[in-house]
Amino acid sequence: MEQILAITVIEAVNMAKKILLLLFLFSTLSFTNIVNVKKRKEVVFCLDLSGSTNGLINDIRDNLWRFINYTLKTNPGIDLRIGIVVYGRPSFGADNDYVKIISDLTDNYDYLSQELIKLKPNIEWGEQRLPSAIYASCKNLNWSEGGNVKKIVFIFGNGIVPTMNTTFIKACTIAEEKNIVIYPVYCVQRNIIVRELHGYKMMATKTGGNFNLFPLSHRSPLTSWSDRALKLKRLNENLNSTYIYCTKDGAERYNMMINADQDKQITNEQFVYSRCAYKISDQYQQKCAAWDLISFMKTNTPDFTSLNFAYLPKELQQSSPQEIYETAMRIRQKRNKIISDIHTFYAQLNINDTISINPIDTIVFTPLR
């Protein structure tokens, strides 16, 4: 009887140990999941594109890829979403108070670049309705909920801010409720008009942001590029030739990538360096795996017999699965060589995308850190 009781006690102790071990493992896994939740940053550029800020779109477009590269480098593993709201041009429509949402918050940066490139850098006049633009930025975009998200609006503009305007007051209230921090940036065309600064400073004070002044660049379109920029441009064109779209939206995504490379106004060379730096990153290749066969092959083995041939480029639609496999293997090898050549190109020039080289850096880079 005593022996049976002893065995029962031992079994009970062992069972308790197992339960405690399971509880410990469960709590550890739960804690790990909480800690490893991907952090997100959501950034909206709200841009005054009326005549008083001519040239601003160039400053934003020229540096878009530097913003992206800097954020991803200084915040490894971050989920960065960007939105763009513009205002002040007659073409945006009086019904919308001359405000237009170019893009909701997204991580499809090719789309952002493509849409920014479409905008003309200068106009002669425009209707500046800043309160409506702030309201659209805070209210009408798909901001995330939850505490693991940093939310920022950069408002670039000038002119009088009607701080007693109902729409302005509502916009600031929404920003506070959603924990959106506003960083107002007063754009200096020629001179600082002191009476216009009050409203910009008030936005910063109410939402916890910082007020900044920014001199518009007024850069002229380039008439020619340096030899090194032309070399990188050719490498980028070769890289583009290694994409094989293979999904329903693949052709659209491919064209979007091509369009994001092109600036019909002929942008500055920094755009080219920053754009290519992003395109050879692992993150970009991972994003392209959703529509590009070569990117997908980097981490997966495709079933070439199950491809929908109607979604492939026309020159491959009549090929056999074996022929597509052989073509893909050759192109994958070609891409690896081009990416290696671009890495070598950057190393030789010692190009660093995170070095501050213009006035916009301290305004945007610091909050994105």
CB atoms within 10 A of CB 299: 10
- Position 365 scores a pLDDT of 82
Q: Is the pLDDT of residue 324 over 70?
A: yes
CB 250 within 8 A of CB 289: no
State the pLDDT confidence band at 221, using cuts at 50, 70 and 90: low
Task: Give the pLDDT of residue 120.
Answer: 83
Q: Tell me how far apart the alpha carbons of residues 4 and 22 are, in angstroms, rounded to a whole number.
A: 27
Asked if 82 and 105 touch (Cβ cutoff 8 Å), the reply is yes
Q: Is 308 within 8 Å of 291 (Cβ atoms)?
A: no
Say if residue 5's pLDDT is above 90. Answer: no
Model confidence at 206: pLDDT above 70:
yes
Q: Above 70 in pLDDT, residue 39? A: yes
Nearest residue to 134 (alpha-carbon basis) of 155, 148, 152, 151 = 155
CB-CB contact of 68 with 106 (8 Å): no
More confident residue, 271 or 250: 250
Q: Which residue has the tokens 């994958």?
A: 332
Q: Which residues pair with 213 in a beta bridge?
A: 186
Strand partners, 212: 185
Torsion angle of alpha carbons 226, 230, 231, 236, nearest 10°?
140
Q: Give the residues across from 179 on adjacent strands.
A: none
Kindly tell me if the per-residue pLDDT of 24 is higher than 90.
Answer: no
- Cα–Cα distance for residue pair 58/54, rounded to 1 Å: 9
* 254 vs 369, more confident: 254
What DSSP string runs through 307-352? --GGGS-GGGTTS-HHHHHHHHHHHHHHHHHHHHHHHHHHHHHT--
Rg (CA), the chain: 26
Which of 1-5, 87-91, 233-237 has the least mean pLDDT?
1-5
* Whole-number Å distance between alpha carbons of 347 and 351: 7
> Where does the pLDDT of residue 271 fall: very low under 50, low under 70, confident under 90, or very high at 90 and above?
confident
pLDDT given for residue 30 in this prediction: 35
Average confidence score pLDDT of the chain: 84
Whether the predicted pLDDT of 6 surpasses 50: no
Please compute the mean of the pLDDT values over residues 95-121 and round it to a whole number: 92
Q: Where along the chain do its domains lie?
A: 40-220+357-368, 227-349
Longest Cα–Cα distance in the chain: 101
* Cα–Cα dist 324/318, whole Å: 10
CATH number for domain 40-220+357-368, candidates 3.40.50.920, 3.60.20.10, 3.10.20.310, 3.40.50.410 = 3.40.50.410
pTM: 0.83
Reduce the DSSP state of residue 100 to 3 states and report it.
Answer: strand
3-class DSSP state for residue 237? helix
Residue 168 and residue 162: Cα distance in Å, rounded?
7
Instruction: Give, to the nearest 10 degrees, the angle between helix 56-74 and helix 360-368.
Output: 30
Residue that the structure tokens 């007051």 belong to: 169
pLDDT at 123 over 70: yes
Q: Which residues contact 171 (CB under 8 A, 6 or more apart)?
A: 131, 134, 135, 137, 138, 139
Residues 132-169 pLDDT 10s: 999 999 999 999 987 789 999 999 999 989 999 999 99
Lowest mean pLDDT among 40-49, 94-103, 341-350: 341-350
Sheet with 180-188, side-by-side order of all strands: 99-106, 79-87, 40-48, 149-157, 180-188, 212-215
Residue 301 or 369, more confident: 301
Instruction: Retrieve residue 154's tokens.
Output: 């950069």
Reported confidence tier of residue 17, pLDDT bands at 50, 70, 90: very low
Is 151 in a helix, a strand, or coil?
strand
Residue 269's pLDDT band, with cuts at 50, 70 and 90, is: confident
Report the run of H or E that residue 45 belongs to, with start and end: strand 40-48
Beta 79-87 vs 99-106: how paired, if at all?
A: antiparallel
37-41 average pLDDT score: 76
What integer pLDDT is reported at residue 133 of this predicted model? 95
Query: Once rounded to an integer, what is the mean pLDDT over residues 182-201?
Result: 91
Percent of the chain with pLDDT over 90: 54
**What pLDDT score does 267 carry?**
61
Contact criterion met (CB below 8 Å) for 113 and 72: no
